[in-house]
Amino acid sequence: MSEPSVFSRIIAREIPALIVRETDRLIAFKDIAPKAPVHFLIVPKTEQYANITELAAGDPGLLAEIVAVAQELADEYSNGQYRLLFNTGPEAGQTVFHVHAHLLGGGLTESTIGF
Ligand code: AMP
């Protein structure tokens, strides 16, 4: 069996993170290298899905839960407005192959996220 992902190790509290939300099936925490004033990762507790395509096919309800949590966190930290990003594949910048959404907000500008 492969090693647990860095996110599974955060879920297991083996490595620290600034956790902002936890439900039965999801966790959300601050990205260690934030690209915007608000930059959280929203991560299913299962690592069975490597990316959003697999998640949408395998458990669309869980994908909808990510969106619902994104809105809740944006309401709390980013006046309700946000950008939700799923890097899919190494050439698109994905480095952790345990599906996760980047929630970006808090005053986005071209210089914080490129466009
Ligand atoms: P991606 O490049 O889309 O796979 O996103 C992976 C994200 O995980 C990057 O934005 C990293 O900064 C973030 N990251 C990696 N390790 C940690 C960690 N220990 N705690 C919080 N965020 C992390």
Q: What is the pTM of this model?
A: 0.96
Q: Note the pLDDT of residue 22.
A: 98
Whole-number Å distance, alpha carbon 60 to ligand 1 midpoint, is 23
C-alpha to C-alpha distance for 22 and 42, rounded to whole angstroms: 9
State which CATH number among 3.40.50.920, 3.40.190.10, 3.30.428.10, 1.10.10.10 fits the domain covering 6-113. 3.30.428.10
Percentage of the residues of the chain whose pLDDT score is greater than 90: 90
Mean pLDDT of 60-87: 97
Whole-number Å distance, alpha carbon 75 to ligand 1 midpoint, is 23
Q: Note the pLDDT of residue 110.
A: 75
Cα-only R_g, the chain: 14
Ligand 1 and 15: CB distance under 6 A: yes
Instruction: Lowest mean pLDDT of 39-43, 83-87, 92-96, 108-112, name the range.
Output: 108-112
Q: Note the pLDDT of residue 26.
A: 98
Q: Take residue 14 and report the two structure tokens written for it.
A: 């083996």
Give the type of residue at 60.
P
